Amino acid sequence: MQFSFDPKLRDIADKVEDRERLTFDDGLSLFATDDLNALGKLADTVRRQKHGLTTYYNVNRHFNHTNICVADCKFCGFYRRARQEDAYTHSIDEGIEIAREAVAEGATELHIVGGLNSKLPFSYYTDLFSSLKKEFPRLHLKALTMVELDFFARFYKMSDEDVIDQLHAAGMDSCPGGGAEIFAEPTRSRICDHKCDAARWLELAGKVHAAGLKTNATMLYGHIETIEDRVDHFVQLREQQDKSGGFQCFIPLAFYPPGSALSTLPGPDAIDNLKTIAVSRLMLDNFDHIKAYWVMLGKATAQTALHFGANDLDGTITDGGELTHSYSVESGGEVKMTKKEIIEMIQRAGFEAVERDTVYNRVDSTLAM
């Protein structure tokens, strides 16, 4: 029995077996194939070579400190202008209480992102991080995207290095991968023209890595981008990883249309989601981890994605922040799973569930925070 009825996929499988880096055209061919089972098997083979049956999750909480934002990204249903009735900014005390609840539930990570709020001083962020670290010294603060760091440097008239160093000194332990969206122009300008461009996003990621901090990387897909845009995104991330080496995990983010300026679009379907996970694994040969983010994929598709190259499901989230609620595809905007639920979800897919911290160390759940 042959591996695939698609001759191009058979040729690519030979390259993967020989550990040969795939090209841009190979990426296009992977997306074009109709042999979904063979594509998944190829990605799963690479995943098992890297990780065996190990599938990671963590116990985490999201904290979205403000939804006030000077940008107006077409895909975003979260942001508000300062004068809108439901605009908000959490106080530092509120942040501490949210962290306290998270730690009580066993969280090892607080994921902190928000809008580009021109009403806040830079000291809000350093005071927030230092206050959180004072109360919870072992809680990992995964905070601020490259877009937020770019905004800080421009708005507060600081060098990139000063922004990163001061935030790190205050308690920022690593950075998430948001704000990458789609690198290719003109698509990027059409959906988020107030954000930094691809070159700037990648430059800042390199500087964060140079400062000794890890980051993740993302791609928002299923809106107005082309398949060429997606493959270009993979290639640019792969090239940056070759240079700076600080990306831990790649997270494909499935676009969720409701509440956005692009609400008439259908968003990606399950086939597209699984293909994107699989192609990510095959193209991003220098990324150790590929995440199936269950909040945006839905639990069923995320579980299936573990057989399509993903080796991480993200976390329990314990309670999602306001941003997370705005894009959840689960019924009623659900953004919470218990530890027991996520472990069973992984095990039912045939894998070994391993709790991790933010930087992929195995967690001894008997340790107190």
Mean pLDDT, residues 59-84: 82
The per-residue DSSP string of 89-133 comes to: B--HHHHHHHHHHHHHTT--EEEE-----TTS-HHHHHHHHHHHH
Q: How many CB atoms lie within 10 A of CB 160?
A: 18
User: In what side-by-side order are the strands of the sheet with 312-315?
Assistant: 312-315, 54-58, 352-355
Q: Which two tokens stand for residue 210?
A: 């140079």
Residues 6+ apart with CB under 8 A from 83: none
pLDDT single digits (tens) 221-252: 999 999 999 999 999 999 999 999 999 999 99
pLDDT value, residue 366: 41
pLDDT at 213 over 50: yes
pLDDT at 51 over 90: yes
Secondary structure letter of residue 243 according to DSSP? H
pLDDT value, residue 256: 85
pLDDT single digits (tens) 121-158: 999 999 999 999 999 999 999 999 999 999 999 999 99
pLDDT single digits (tens) 97-107: 999 999 998 99
Q: What is the largest CA-CA distance in the chain?
A: 64
pLDDT value, residue 236: 98
Q: Which CATH class is domain 8-355?
A: alpha beta
pLDDT value, residue 317: 74
Query: Helix (H, G, I), strand (E, B), or coil: what is residue 150?
Result: helix
pTM of the shown model: 0.92
Lowest-pLDDT range, 40-49, 68-77, 356-365? 68-77
Q: What's the CA angle centered on 11, arms 9 and 13, to 5 degrees? A: 70
pLDDT value, residue 304: 98
Half-sphere exposure of 62 (CA within 13 A, CB side): 20
Please give the Cα distance from 185 to 188 (Å, whole number). 5
